């Protein structure tokens, strides 16, 4: 995974100024990059899920960006 400014979804371009898990996954699938600036806009929950998905993807996803889950799984409390 490359970390750089090649991210395609800038949080500043988002009207709510919120970067989401789905946006981060789209960036990874399109360019294999995430911007540290955009990651700062993720909620703690989205950031945690993104990190867990990246770890799972590195082990089981054969490092193919299309194997990343594009939606968060929901847990029933």
Q: pLDDT for 10-60, tens place per residue?
A: 444 444 668 999 999 999 889 888 899 999 999 999 999 999 988 888 888
Task: Look at residue 5 and tell me whether its pLDDT is greater than 70.
Answer: no
Residues 74, 33: Cα–Cα separation, whole Å: 25
Name the pairing type of β-strands 33-34 and 2-3: parallel
Tokens of 8: 């395609």
Q: What is the pLDDT of residue 16?
A: 60
Q: What is the pLDDT of residue 74?
A: 55
Q: What is the pLDDT of residue 29?
A: 87
Q: What is the pLDDT of residue 11?
A: 46
Q: What is the pLDDT of residue 14?
A: 47
Q: Confirm if 23 and 42 have CB atoms less than 8 A apart.
A: no
């Amino acid at each position: 995974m490359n970390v750089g400014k090649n991210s395609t979804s800038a949080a500043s371009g988002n009207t709510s100024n919120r970067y989401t898990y789905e946006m981060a996954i789209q960036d990874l699938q399109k360019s294999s990059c995430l911007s540290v600036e955009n990651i700062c806009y993720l909620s703690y929950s989205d950031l945690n899920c993104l990190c867990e998905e990246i770890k799972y993807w590195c082990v089981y996803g054969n490092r193919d960006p299309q194997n990343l889950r594009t939606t968060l799984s929901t847990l029933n409390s």
